[in-house]
Structure 1
């Protein structure tokens, strides 16, 4: 039994039948719903089981949802759920590190170059430290350790007690006289700068701070030690003997007090 045409309703015979969009059409009845252009199986577009040409094919448009209180509540609830899921994923993946970068040939070349540069710098620093410091041109002053420098000065700021005044900071320039080219001997220090021990006998003092000798002719003592046979050298230094240890030498005047 022959079916009826979906457009005109008449019987469709097999020679003029077009089976499309779940319907049967006459070849002449299979045309665009808008412009009536005859279509075939290659150039038609179906919409709601009706044929259309490419120019008149209906464009789908989305409807706007009204901002009703219920829709606003659902939107806010969806945002809160998204934030909760984001925080859960963040806490779960926190501390797992970064993703591994692919080991491409270019990255291998860059890594190899960096390793070579690091090795060159390491060998240069090693050779430089092994050879020692490079001597500079011209005379270099030879300085004796001064009690005010280094750890003594840092101790004054950290411990809060006074630091002895410098008593022998000599600077000797090693430069030969113009008339001699070799066999030069370092000149002796001036007699005024050399410290000499005064005669025995003197006052008694008590140490109020701990002191560690910074030179060979100084003595070390602790808080509470008694210093005997004390002689005043200048405003900053004295000469005496630590009664507890029996050591005799120079000591800072602002570290002791008279008994």
Structure 2
């Protein structure tokens, strides 16, 4: 059975059927409700399940409330009630501390940077304490010095002259850094590191991150600045 048209209510046959706005239409009946301009599926705008053209599409309007004495009195009363509720809540929560930090991507990055800095400081303190524990006591070092024979002094027969510094090869493409620790990338825009990797084309981003290329893998992206040092 052929469905009725949404405008003329006559049967709509498959050859001339348009299915739109939860109704079936003849192609000739699918027109603007105001100006009767023929519409298609590409240029119609629906409102209340009726087709309209762009010119006569109903626009939403805002209701303007006149500032009468009664409305002003109600507005003032609402403000007073709001202030009373605020003061009541303030008195109830006085002395209580609220700590709420939004878990945004930026806060997650800052938290991760702080954790990495803490880990590095822990490693540095551990290495320092290890060196201090491995060093012999002062009296043992004195005995070791007494046991070692004095080294003969060798005098150079040539006249001393100005010392020439060794030639240093210029860096290729800006500053170069070397990884102090291994790091696994947590995001797609970061670069993984292994201890000893060389980083080139370094660009500072902020206090805790830099942008560079790992020469071992060829990947380019962000990496923590406290995991590398300049070479």
TM-score, normalization by structure 1: 0.34
Tell me which protein shows more helix as a share of its residues. Answer: 2
